[in-house]
Amino acid sequence: MIFKHFRIYKNICFCRHSSSLSTIFALATGPQLRSGVAIIRVSGSLATQSLLKLTRETKLENFKPKQLYLKKIYHHKTNDLIDQCMTVWFKEPKSFTGEDVVEFHIHGSKAVAGAIFSTLSSFPNYRLAEPGEFSKRAYLNGRLDLTEAEGLIDLINAQTEQQRKQSLYQMQGSLKELYERWRLDLVKSLAHAEAYIDFHEDQHIENDILSDVINTVKTAYNAMSIHLQDHRRGEILRDGCRIAILGAPNAGKSSLLNILTQKPTAIVSPIAGTTRDVIESTIDLGGYPIVICDTAGLRITDDPIENEGVLRAVDRANTCDLLIIVVDISMLSLHDNLNEQIDKHLSDLFTIKSSSFNSLTKLILLNKIDLTNENIRLKFQQLNDNIIPISCTLGVNIEEFLSKLTKSIAEKCTEPSFTTPYLTNERHRIYLTRTVDDLLMFLTFINNNQDLVLAVEYLRLAIRSLGTVTGVVHTEELLDVIFRDFCIGK
Ligand SMILES: Nc1nc2c(ncn2[C@@H]2O[C@H](COP(=O)(O)OP(=O)(O)OP(=O)(O)O)[C@@H](O)[C@H]2O)c(=O)[nH]1
Ligand SMILES: [K+]
Ligand SMILES: [Mg+2]
């Protein structure tokens, strides 16, 4: 249970941490010990006691904040020398958590960390930190808003260059700035609308005050609606672009997966129907994260296990952002139009489980061109732009395929930018959608000359939902959901 002081103003609650909270400590450098250096971080109103007691210094003045000091540190109870290490303290509020923070940059061994943990645990009001507790305190003390905290965890989890950029910008406040700007505009409008309700009959209040309110709400409504029509760009980059490899049995889907993962991830064999389960791998393509999966060849079959594989393939394809369809070129005839034949092949494939992937971007690979002769290769110039002839076995045209794939993925993801950030997770989408819905209700009520007091209630709800994205408004449950994904020590 965390104790907070609340100051309630309308629907907006501000909170500050109570100084009666425990002082917490944890390894900030992750659980992997046996490293050159590991950092133990201590945060709380009693944090500086650990600095004095472990170093056996008597005065805090001997340590200037934010400066490193090489010190011998001792076990508080046994007086044993534990380690010689760098120490530093950050005076509140100028620390990560906004509280007093002390760090011990120890030799990264289990024994050293264990001895320090044992001595810290013996201090009154000290305890081990829970996952995300340092960040949660930083949020509660106003050092981070919720989108910045989420940016921080995403940065820690970032696997690729573009994910790093997006999460870094978010951690630095790209989304917070955008949402706070909208929120403050709406808060101002709410105050004006309330003043209008209270005073327009008996006092001089400018008549255009209400039309200004309506214009501000309309502008915010439009901007937020556009922001929501983002084709999930930020989310795709955060979670990885999901791609399914589809095609008839033996087209070469597993061979392609193995090329992309650069190892024998899936079994390749001349037996049609080899792959049954969905085989998923994650890769980094040009800085973009991809979750790619190989699937069972699509065909009508009496084998119940293979049939289950086909169902799974279609299911997976339905939740993907992009499809790669592999076609064995030897299925096509040299004499007819290649594009038409491929279209026909695809529509035959997709009728197998009456699946339609019309809205999904597709890259089509004509595989096994090593088996074809010169004449058919001459016809490759006629191929539509999203059709690429390749040979998995000989590695022909793979570079061209990869560059087209990267281009398609870049179009699906955001090119991270601080000034035009995209929302990055479902939580943002849920609350922003509520905001937009309530703004629309406000505008509809006003347009229909309905009760202004009721209309303003919707404006208030909209502000509340928007405040939930950044955390100006929060519930304990919301914080638990956000911070439980953090690691211990962050
Ligand atoms: N000549 C030639 N053979 C290929 C090429 N690509 C794959 N093959 C062969 O085609 C056969 C089927 O390849 P797989 O990768 O297992 O095909 P698949 O689409 O995964 O097959 P299922 O899982 O059974 O649906 C294997 O014998 C591969 O060696 C290619 O570019 N050229
Ligand atoms: K096969
Ligand atoms: Mg296969």
pLDDT in tens, 211-237: 999 999 999 999 999 999 999 999 999
Question: How far is 119 from 114, CA to CA, in rounded Å?
Answer: 9
The tokens for 380 are 């490759």
85-131 pLDDT, tens per residue?
999 999 999 999 999 999 999 999 999 999 999 999 999 999 999 99
**CA 271 to ligand 2 center in whole angstroms:** 5
Q: Which of 374, 393, 352, 356 is nearest to 365 (CA)?
A: 393
Quick check: pTM over 0.90?
no
Q: Which H helix or E strand runs over 83?
A: strand 81-90
Is the pLDDT at 204 greater than 70, yes or no?
Answer: no
Q: Is the CB of 295 under 6 A from ligand 1?
A: no
Instruction: Tell me the average pLDDT across 344-369.
Output: 92
Q: Return the ligand number nearest the Cα of 247.
A: 1
Q: From the CB of 370, is ligand 1 less than 6 Å away? A: yes
Distance CA 337, CA 345 (A): 12
Angle at 36 between CA 102 and CA 149, to 5 degrees: 50
**C-beta of residue 282 within 8 angstroms of C-beta of residue 231:** no
pLDDT digits (tens, 9 = 90+) for 430-467: 999 999 999 999 999 998 888 889 999 999 999 999 99
* pLDDT tens per residue across span 273-315: 999 999 999 999 999 999 999 999 999 999 999 999 999 999 9
Predicted complex: ipTM over 0.90: yes
Q: Is the CB of 253 under 6 A from ligand 1?
A: yes
CA 326 – ligand 1 centroid, Å: 10
Closest residue by Cα to atom 9, ligand 1, is 252
* Atom number of ligand 1 nearest to Cα 326: 19
The ligand that comes nearest to the alpha carbon of residue 299 is: 1
CB 367 less than 6 A from any atom of ligand 1? yes
Check pocket membership of 392 for ligand 1, CB cut-off 6 A: yes
C-alpha–C-alpha distance, residues 306 and 323, integer Å = 21
Domains detected in the chain: 23-129 (3.30.1360.120), 154-230+420-483 (1.20.120.430), 236-412 (3.40.50.300)
